[in-house]
Copies of this chain bind each other. A is one copy, B any other.
Amino acid sequence: MANPKIVLAYSGGLDTSVAIKWLQNKGYDVVACCLDVGEGKDLDFIKEKAITVGAVSSYVIDAKDEFAEEYALISLQAHTLYEQKYPLVSALSRPLIAKKLVEVAEAENAVAVAHGCTGKGNDQVRFEVSIKALNPDLEVLAPVREWKWSREEEIEYAQENGIPVPIGLASPYSIDQNLWGRANECGILEDPWAAPPEDAYELTTALENTPDTPDVVEIGFEQGVPVTLDGKSYKLAELILELNGIAGKHGVGRIDHVENRLVGIKSREVYEAPAAMTLIKAHKELEDITLVKDVAHFKPVIEKKLSELIYDGLWFSPLRDALVAFLAETQKTVTGTVRVKFFKGHAIVEGRKSEYSLYDEKLATYTKEDEFDHDAAVGFIKIFGLPTAVNSMVNNKKVTV
């Protein structure tokens, strides 16, 4: 009788290579599955390595466009900054990876899926909740969390099982990267009083080394989607990559964050998100002229909930669908152009314009003459201030403040 199949989220690194063998030893046929969400790895090498190490088959899936258009775009339009800082880099890719794992598992008639997360992070939660949401019948294994080996024990197991172990000192950091940014933790970063060393960064130039001449780019949006740079059309994934280049060159998008993990601890993370931070800023400025005040003031409530929900791994949940329905409705007039100057770590929005602009000099003048008279202001203030005035009349003498 055939072995049961398991689909493993495979990165090509030591942990998931060892996991292939470990799952085999548990009696599974392992299907390796590597997703390209824009981290720029050598995918052919990874595909082959999985087979070499013992996988019965090996998938490499280019999910860059899907990631950009269905995941990063939500983050952009909702300005999802967890705790006002972190643009949800890894939190956005996890549900997409989970979705692909489930699709492969269903196509391959697998009984289980596996991921390489430990027991201390957010990603284990994001993977497992997403997988259960998509297919509650699939079992989920977490080899690294289960085997609880030290680094030495893991290397020993690798050597015993013929798995190549990288020579030289491993990076002191733990890194995850995709189109939307790069996350870095561990090592010296664990001391929140210490400044992150330069080698913690890769996508962004150090401020000291940024060019002395700015670049200026006009970003064109259609209904909340960035579609052009300086008038040239791009698919979203490519536009993001292009902006990562320009903004990164000028040192834009470094984030140093002590954050509250879902699993109850604080951790210090260093992020780089040149395109993400630029686009969120530019999009917000376009909304500033195109959204009516009530929407502009309530949308942040939706944004905050969506940020926390995505961070917490609840992408595939009915609440996300409802929040995104709200979001989509707000984007209908977010069309226009934003001029951004990249210089010395800044993405400065210098100008914004839109045919849907609710700020319009001509209209303002028209409005001033036709709508905005002084009696209106007087009447407005009387009624706007009435509750406070009545409160004072009743309470000023009675309540000792």
A300 touches B295 (CB 8 A): no
B329 touches A325 (CB 8 A): yes
A348 to B207, CA, bound (A): 11
B292 touches A388 (CB 8 A): yes
**A295-313: contact bitstring with B at CB < 8 Å (1 yes, 0 no)?**
1111111101100110001
Q: Which residues of B contact A120 (CB under 8 A)?
A: 368, 372, 377
Q: Which residues of B contact A134 (CB under 8 A)?
A: 392, 396
A192 to B268, CA, bound (A): 38
Q: A interface, how many residues as a size bin?
A: 35 or more
- With A132-B388, A339-B193, A392-B132 known to touch, is A314 a contact of B294 (CB < 8 Å)? yes
| Interface check A39, CB cutoff 8 A | no
Which segment of A70-78, A154-162, A177-185, A315-323 sits at the interface?
Answer: A315-323
Closest to A312 in B: B384
One complex includes copies of this chain to the number of 4
Q: Which residues of B contact A350 (CB under 8 A)?
A: 195, 256
Among A257, A308, A319, A341, residue most surrounded by chain B Cβ atoms (within 10 Å): A319
A344 to B313, CA, bound (A): 37
| Nearest CB on B from A315, distance (A) | 10
- With A387-B264, A391-B317 known to touch, is A193 a contact of B294 (CB < 8 Å)? no
| Nearest CB on B from A349, distance (A) | 7
B386 touches A119 (CB 8 A): no
| Nearest CB on B from A170, distance (A) | 20
**A381-401: contact bitstring with B at CB < 8 Å (1 yes, 0 no)?**
111111111111111101101
Other contacts beyond A132-B389, A194-B351, A317-B388: 11, CB < 8 A: A124-B377, A135-B396, A136-B392, A195-B350, A260-B296, A264-B384, A265-B364, A265-B390, A318-B329, A333-B395, A371-B386
